[in-house]
Structure 1
Amino acid sequence: MPAAPLFVFDGDCVLCSRTVRFVLRTETAPVVRFCAVQSEAGQRIVGALGLAAMPETFLFVENGKTYGRSEAAFRLAAYLRAPWRWLRFLRFLPRGPTDRAYDCVARNRYRWFGQHTTCLIPVPEQRARFLAE
């Protein structure tokens, strides 16, 4: 696993790909790495964690720990500029309601936002931040 924070996302999901683009535009420093779960690297990471090939959540790996569902989103928010970084404080809310809200969006993400037939292709200056193989 890379030492830098890692965002493992569904490369087929329009919402997930837009989230990656949003993070690239609003992070405080270019430290977050990205990996589509459909890539070879994504499959290795998911396999090493003992998870299903296509988890119903994005994963966020930070300091050797893996987070999913709403906790992953709140931890990712800590790397964004204000006011977006303030969303990280939502992690102090009860996990049940925040995970249920996350699960609702995750279950409906293709229906509400659509699905790509190809994965996100980063611009050349961002390519090194994406794990593919």
Structure 2
Amino acid sequence: MSPIILFDGDCLFCHDSVWWIAARDRKAVFRFAAQQSTVGRALLEKGNVLGRDTVVLIEDGCYYIKSDAVLRIGRHLAWPWNGLAAAGLLVPRLLRDFVYDQIAARRHRLIRKQDRCQLPPPELRARFLDESLQ
């Protein structure tokens, strides 16, 4: 099964991050779901990570959050991101998660407001999980 990234569907930074990941995921290994969707909520509940304010990666039945999720996502991306992710794993989790938390706390200010969300192209839209794929 493909790894699944659960992201905050109400956050423009998170939307932009999904687009950024998809552009560098040359093998199209990731599937995506908003945490607020029916599928997203069910997956969060299954992994007992409801109420967490973080990106969640589900890979091989394991749930990863915060910097662990980000670095594991990076391992699947094109060079140089996969190399940077591997190097990032050498940094202690406590420090990595501190940096993650600082960015997460400011994420709504990091992206300029938009009047409307941009719809993904069909090839990317097919990688989003929705209620019909339960």
Q: TM-score range by the shorter chain?
A: 0.7 to 0.9
- Following superposition, the deviation at residue 107 of structure 1 comes to 1.4
Cα distance in 2 between the residues matched to 1:30 and 1:112: 27
CA contact (8 A) 2:7 2:35 kept: yes
Q: Following superposition of structure 1 onto structure 2, how do residues 21-36 of structure 1 map, counting pairs within 5 Å?
A: 21-36=19-34
Q: Which has the higher contact order (CA 8 A, sep 6+)?
A: 1
Q: Distance in 2 between matches of 1:106 and 1:88?
A: 18
**8 Å CA contact 1:60, 1:66 repeated in 2:** yes
User: Which residue, 52, 57, 74 being the options, matches 2:54?
Assistant: 57
Matched-pair identity in %: 34
Q: Does 1:72 find its partner at 2:54?
A: no
Normalised by the length of structure 1, the TM-score is 0.88
Structure-2 separation of matches of 1:85 and 1:71? 14
Quote the Cα distance in structure 2 between the aligned partners of 1:83 and 1:37.
Answer: 28
1:25-62 deviation line (CA, Å, top 9, x unaligned): 11130111001111111111111122224x21100111
Q: 1:118: how far off?
A: 6.7
- Unaligned segments of structure 2, at least 5 residues: none
**Structure 2 vs 1, CA of residues 120 and 96 (structure 1 numbering), >3 Å: closer, same or farther?**
farther
1:109 matched residue in structure 2:
107
Q: Assess, with a 3 A threshold, how the Cα gap between structure 1 residues 127 and 19 changes in structure 2: closer, same or farther.
A: same
Equivalent residue runs for 1:1-133 within 5 Å: 3-53=1-51, 55-89=52-86, 90-113=88-111, 121-133=119-131
Q: Offset of 1:108 from its aligned partner?
A: 1.6
**Deviation at residue 86 of structure 1 after TM alignment:** 1.2
Q: Is the 8 A contact 2:38 2:130 kept in 1?
A: yes
Q: How many pairs were matched up?
A: 130
* TM-score under structure 2 length normalisation: 0.87
Letter in 2 for 1:60: L
